[in-house]
Structure formats: C-alpha cells, structure tokens
Amino acid sequence: MTTTAAVGVAVRALLIVLFCVMVAVFVNLFAIDGFISCFDFSARWGVAILMEFSVYPVVMGSWFFYKESDWIKTTIFTGSLFILGSLLSIGYILLQFFKLSREESSTNPLYFVLVRHHKRENTSRIPVVTVRAIYSALAFLTMGALIYTLIKDISGSYADPFTKCFLANMADLYIHAVMFAVWIAYKESSWLIASLWIISLLCFGSITLCVYIVNQLFSISPEKPASSIIFSSSDICLQSSEPLFASHANV
C-alpha cells in the first residue's frame, strides 16, 4: 500500500489521540486507587487477559531489540510494558516519528519509523525457524488459556471482573490491536486482505497477531533475517535501488 507523508501525519495524529486516551485511563486508575488491583490475576479470566496481553510486549520487545540491538535495554523495555502497557508502546513509536528527518518524513515515514538507523555489529541473528516456533507457541498458549477459561467460567461468573481495572486492561489491549492493525495495513498490498486480517485482529486479538507473524515468517526463506517481515514487500525492493533507503537497509 502506498505510504505517503499524509499517511504518516494521520498515523502520528492517531497515536497521539490513543496516547491521550491511555493517559486518561491511568489517571482514572490512580484516582480510584485501583492500579494495584490490576495485577490481581487470581481469577481465571485474569490469567486469560494476562496471556492475551503478554503477546504484545513480546512483539514490541522484538522490534525494540531490532531497533536498539541491546539486550539490557530490551529487557527493561519489555518488562516496563507489563506495567505501562500501550502508554510506553505509543510513546516509543511517537519518539521514532519525531526523530525523522524532513526528507524521511516526506518520503516514507512508516518505513523509516520501523527501520533501524544504525548497523548491528557483533550480534548474531536469531534463526527464522526459532522465531516461528516462539510465536507459534505463543499462539497456542494464548488460545489454550482462552478456551480453558471459557470452559470453566462459561456460566457467567466472569462478570465480576468488569471493573474500571478490567475496562482499562481491555482499552490497553484494543489500543495495541489498533497499533498493529496500522502495521498490517502498511504491509499488505491488498486492502481486502488487510481488512480481513484487521477484522480478525480486532475480534481475536493477539492470537491473530501471532498467526499473522508466523504466516509472514513462513513467507520468507530461512536464510533471510526474521526482521524482513517488519517491512512491506515494496519497501524491501526499494532498499536496494534507492540511496535513501539503502542507507537504512540493515534488516
């Protein structure tokens, strides 16, 4: 899909709105002293929500490691996501937008936000097969937790968690889903295919995201870096032909 400066501006505006929404959610939680209660996963539905949410820090952490090439920073960033959620995710992405040069912003802002701006040195690549196994396992674990919870709590006893904390967790999940929906729209060359994936993502959340990532990983050869799936096929082709893109072709 065509990525223009106007699309970049629209995405940045969307992220700012989502960031403000999450700030309001956090303020509300602190105001009612309900922030700590969000870490009570004694209920079965709490575990299901935790499994659903855990996929997003893993995906964001994987991209963060690709961008920063630092295990210590990645560990801190991923761990912080379990506390700050989409507030941190959006904040980091917006920071990447603000780092863009004028030329990058006017050429292909989404690509330059996603790509690494420095070369990775002395860091071995994780094999594509390993990454496939990790995300396949995440998909099965998340699906298993959901099915188990539905079987055990099908009577409706899950109604109790519908508190402000529960609603805040759901808001965080859907904001992450919207963020990854933008990524899918960027990657797919067909609006129909992109729409089907996005609808599935909004309905089934991180399970769909894991399936989509695994599907993308199977579309590349084992010799290529797993980070190739971050970009659309058109941008991968441009990396070897355009000087501006070639300077960031460190995937």
Question: Domain coordinates of the chain in residue numbers?
Answer: 5-117+125-246
Average pLDDT value for the chain: 81
Per residue in 9-39, pLDDT (tens digit) is 999 999 999 999 999 888 877 776 555 556 5
Per residue in 40-82, pLDDT (tens digit) is 555 556 666 777 888 999 999 999 999 998 899 999 999 999 8
CA distance 197 to 194: 5
DSSP conformation class of 108: -
What is the pLDDT, as a whole number, of residue 156?
47
In contact, 96 and 113? CB cutoff 8 Å: yes
Q: What is the pTM of this model?
A: 0.84
Answer yes or no: is pLDDT of 146 > 70.
yes
What is the pLDDT, as a whole number, of residue 122?
44
CA distance 229 to 200: 19
CB proximity list for 14: less than 8 A, separation 6 or greater: 178, 182
What is the pLDDT, as a whole number, of residue 33?
56
